[in-house]
Every structure is written in structure tokens, then in C-alpha cells.
């Protein structure tokens, strides 16, 4: 009996060591390639943004960029490419991430930013990283289950390289696919890949995003109550934002079945809205909107306008990501409510970012981690409260239609339903 137990223990230890060193090597490979790709992508988006800001006429090239994006996807027979939803399905089911996904999202996102479309980059990073992980998994002849982990590794590496938040990037890939269940088998590979990716980005000169909160009041019953109220409102905003993004795509397809006409119509609408707004603040990723919100200077209507500009852009077929626009909306809304409640607009802006991220991605653990990596630990009590409230009250809405809720948000029961 003792010999049997000893042999089982030995076999278990050997299996664990095999898993660890196997994925250590694979993580180094995927993290390195993902880090390089993410770094080049980040510099490409930064160049596109700087060029657009220096040449305001680039806005009027938005229709040409849109037509080129549609043409590229049609040329490579990727008209049905579902972007991040396809990557999520590749992890949770048998769908494959096509090899063309990475290059196409790389070029099309830069084109969108170059001409001012309201989009982010981290959502594109998930597609780029997923494509890299899938392709390398195929080259290494990994089995079906290991290939899914490779996809998650690629997502973590590129996300970390772009945003500079390695822990959040490593956990996000595990959490976003199935709400209520974490893919713990991918924890070590994803964390290693994320740190390697961000390490390469830092060596290349990318420091990542960090924001300084002006003041953090002590936690009292009164301040906690204000944050709970803000969390309730943020949950509502996250639901509205998800509905706007989904229904804008549905509306475009209904009224403009031809993708070329659709992208031209969206370009015209976007240009007119920009001219009417009298500012280019809602073009591109709008990082300056986050900065002004953290400083307590964002306008009351800024969050809603960013929602509209983003829905007009992404719903029509322009490429990019939804995550940075989500953070912009959360920051601007939090700032507005902080000013209205006369309670630390800077802190409320940071809390709004964390709450909106939790509300639209349904990833509360990642939301807390990314808040801590972006703002530091001083506001942890406020972040944890508002994230919990927003996550609980945002229902089963989400950015990604392929995301599954394995367990209920309100009961300890198995539901296995998709987001809407």
C-alpha cells in the first residue's frame, strides 16, 4: 500500500514538473513573439495618433480607410470574421482563429486610428494575440486542449505589452471566456507570457499606463454610500453602452446590407458628428479624455458623446477595441458624478473606469487588478466596493456575445447562458 502511494506521489510530481517546464518554454516563445508584436502594434497606433493630431484633415480620409478595411477582409475571405468573439469561441469550443486575423486586425486598427475612428487597441490585442497563440500552437503540434491555452497565452502577452498591466492581462484571459469558472490550467502560462510580453515592451521604451489620483478621502459610511450610488449608476451606463454597441451593428446591417455602403454611411455620420461637436476629443482612443477626467475637468456630456462616437465607429465595421473606450466612458462619467455629488471627482473617475470595465466585461477580478495596477493600492477599498456593485447589477449584458455565464450572478446555480 505504501509503495502504491509512493508511486502515485512520484507520478504526480513528475506530471506537475512536466507541465511546469513544458509551459515555461512555450510561454517564453509565445510571450516573446506576442511582446514584440504588441510593441510594434503599440508604436504603430501611437504613430497613427500623432500623425492624425498633427494633420487634422486625416478625419476626411475616414471613408477611404473604411473602404480599404472592408476590401482587405473580403480579399482574405474574412467577411465573417467575428473578431474577439471568434477568439473566445476558439477557447470554449472547437472554432479556430484564422491565420489572417492577426495581420488584418493589426493593419485595420491602425487605419481606424489614423483617420480618427473612435476605437481602442486592447480589444484588437486580444485578436492579435489569439491569432499568434493559435498559429504557434499549430506549428508546435499541440493537442486541442493545449492549443486553447496557447491562445490564452498570446492574448495575455499582447494585452500586457500594450497596456503595461501584466497581472490583469494574465488573469483577464482566464476570466473573460466563462464567467464563474476560471481556466486554472492556463494560470502559469498566461502569467509568464504576460510578464515576458510587458518586459519586452518596457525594454523597447513602452512604460505602460499609470494615473495619479488627486485625493483619496478616508473610507466612512458616507463615502462608501456615495461609491455604492456611483456603482449602481455605472452598472446602468454599462448596460446602455453594451446595448448601443450591439444595436448599432444590427441597425447598420439592417439599413445598409452592402458593407461598402455601410462603412461610407458610418464615415459620413462620424464626420458630421465630429464637426458638430467642435472637438476631436472623441476621435481615436481619447486617452486625453481619461487624463482630463482624472484631473476633474471632463464635461458632463463627455461620457455619452464617447459612447455615441464609439457605437457609430465599431458598429459599421471599423476595427479596434472596446476596452479603452469603455475606460474613457467610465472615467468621464465618474468625473461628472463626482462633480455633481461634490465628492473627489478624481477618485470617482478612477472608480468609474473600474466599474465600467467590470460591467461590460463581467470580469470583477481583472477589474480590481487593473485598477490597482493603474492607480495604486491607496483606493483599493473604493475600487472593491464599486466593482462588486457594478458587476452584480449589470445583469447578463456584455461586450462579447460569445462570453458564457456558467453560474448565475445572483444565485449559486448553474445557468450556462451567453451574454446579450
- Mean of the pLDDT values across residues 219-248? 97
Beta strands at 414-418 and 404-407: parallel, antiparallel or unpaired: antiparallel
Separation CA 173–CA 31 (nearest Å)? 14
Which ranges in 256-394 belong to alpha helices (H)? 259-277, 287-294, 302-316, 323-341, 345-361, 364-375, 380-393
pLDDT in tens, 51-101: 999 999 999 999 999 999 999 999 999 988 888 999 999 998 878 888 899
Q: Higher pLDDT residue, 3 or 100?
A: 100
- Residue 1, pLDDT > 50, answer no
Q: Identify the pLDDT of residue 25.
A: 96
pLDDT at 4: 56
Distance of alpha carbon 273 from alpha carbon 301, whole angstroms? 14
375 contacts 211 by C-beta, under 8 angstroms: yes
Instruction: Name which residue leads in pLDDT, 125 or 366.
Output: 366
Least confident span in 2-6, 53-57, 99-103, 387-391: 2-6
For 247-262, give the DSSP string.
HHHHHHHHH--SHHHH
CA-CA distance, 341 to 310, in Å (whole number)?
27
Given a cut of 50, whether residue 162 has pLDDT beyond it is: yes
Phi-psi region of 269 (alpha: psi -120 to 50; beta: other; left: phi over 0): alpha
What pLDDT does residue 81 have?
Answer: 87
Average pLDDT of every residue of the chain: 94
Residue 419 confidence (pLDDT) above 60: yes
Q: Is the pLDDT assigned to residue 103 strictly greater than 50?
A: yes
Residue 361 is predicted with a pLDDT of 96
Q: How far apart are CA 394 and CA 409, in angstroms?
A: 10
Of 87-101, 149-163, 263-277, where does mean pLDDT reach its minimum?
Answer: 87-101
Confidence check: pLDDT of 205 > 50:
yes
Share of the chain above pLDDT 90, in %: 85
CATH architecture of 221-418: Orthogonal Bundle (1.10)
pLDDT at 123: 76
> By C-alpha distance, which of 308, 318, 319, 311 is closest to 262?
318
Of residues 416 and 359, more confidently modeled:
359
Q: 241 pLDDT exceeds 70?
A: yes
Q: Name which CATH class applies to 2-203.
A: mainly alpha
Q: What percent of the chain has pLDDT over 70?
A: 99
Q: How confident is the model at residue 196 (pLDDT cuts 50, 70, 90)?
A: very high
- Would you state the cell numbers that stand for residue 114, as one nine-digit string? 489614423
Mean pLDDT of 160-165: 94
Residue with cell 462588486: 388
Using one digit for the tens of pLDDT, what is the confidence trace for 271-291?
999 999 999 999 999 999 999
Q: In 3-state terms, what secondary structure has residue 100?
A: coil
In the chain, where does the domain assigned CATH 1.10.3080.10 lie? 2-203, 221-418
CA atoms within 13 A on the CB side of 210: 8
Q: Which is more confident, 123 or 327? A: 327
Amino acid at each position: 500500500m505504501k509503495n502504491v502511494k509512493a508511486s502515485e506521489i512520484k507520478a504526480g510530481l513528475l506530471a506537475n514538473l512536466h507541465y511546469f517546464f513544458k509551459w515555461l518554454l512555450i510561454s517564453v516563445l509565445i510571450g516573446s513573439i506576442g511582446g514584440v508584436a504588441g510593441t510594434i502594434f503599440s508604436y504603430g497606433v501611437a504613430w497613427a495618433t500623432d500623425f492624425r493630431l498633427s494633420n487634422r484633415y486625416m478625419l476626411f480620409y475616414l471613408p477611404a480607410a473604411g473602404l480599404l478595411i472592408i476590401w482587405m477582409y473580403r480579399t482574405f475571405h474574412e467577411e465573417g470574421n467575428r473578431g474577439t468573439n471568434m477568439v473566445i469561441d476558439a477557447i470554449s469550443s472547437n472554432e479556430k482563429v484564422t491565420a489572417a486575423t492577426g495581420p488584418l486586425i493589426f493593419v485595420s486598427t491602425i487605419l481606424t486610428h489614423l483617420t480618427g475612428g473612435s476605437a481602442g487597441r486592447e480589444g484588437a490585442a486580444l485578436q492579435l494575440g489569439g491569432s499568434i497563440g493559435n498559429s504557434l500552437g499549430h506549428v508546435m503540434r499541440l493537442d486541442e486542449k493545449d492549443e486553447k491555452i496557447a491562445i490564452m497565452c498570446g492574448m495575455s502577452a499582447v494585452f500586457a505589452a500594450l497596456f503595461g498591466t501584466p497581472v490583469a492581462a494574465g488573469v483577464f484571459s482566464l476570466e473573460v471566456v466563462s464567467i464563474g469558472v476560471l481556466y486554472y490550467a492556463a494560470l502559469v502560462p498566461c502569467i509568464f507570457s504576460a510578464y515576458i510580453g510587458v518586459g519586452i515592451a518596457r525594454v523597447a521604451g513602452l512604460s505602460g499606463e499609470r494615473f495619479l489620483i488627486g485625493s483619496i478621502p478616508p473610507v466612512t459610511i458616507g463615502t462608501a454610500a456615495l461609491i455604492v450610488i456611483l456603482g449602481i449608476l455605472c452598472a446602468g451606463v454599462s448596460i446602455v453602452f453594451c446595448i448601443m454597441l450591439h444595436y448599432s451593428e444590427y441597425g447598420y446591417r439592417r439599413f445598409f446590407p452592402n458593407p461598402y455602403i455601410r462603412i461610407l454611411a458610418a464615415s459620413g455620420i462620424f464626420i458630421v458628428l465630429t464637426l458638430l461637436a467642435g472637438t476631436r476629443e472623441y476621435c481615436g482612443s481619447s486617452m486625453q479624455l481619461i487624463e482630463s477626467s482624472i484631473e476633474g475637468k471632463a464635461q458632463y456630456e463627455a461620457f455619452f458623446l464617447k459612447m455615441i462616437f464609439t457605437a457609430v465607429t465599431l458598429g459599421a465595421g471599423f476595427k479596434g477595441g472596446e476596452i479603452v473606450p469603455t475606460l474613457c466612458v467610465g472615467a468621464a462619467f465618474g468625473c461628472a458624478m463626482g462633480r455633481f455629488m461634490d465628492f473627489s471627482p478624481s477618485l470617482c473617475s478612477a472608480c468609474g473606469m473600474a466599474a465600467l470595465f467590470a460591467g461590460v466585461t463581467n470580469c470583477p477580478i481583472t477589474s480590481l487588478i487593473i485598477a490597482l495596477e493603474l492607480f495604486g493600492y491607496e483606493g483599493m477599498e473604493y475600487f472593491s466596493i464599486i466593482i462588486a456593485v457594478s458587476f452584480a447589477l449589470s445583469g447578463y449584458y456584455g461586450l462579447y456575445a460569445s462570453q458564457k455565464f456558467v453560474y448565475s450572478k445572483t444565485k449559486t446555480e448553474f445557468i450556462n447562458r451567453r451574454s446579450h
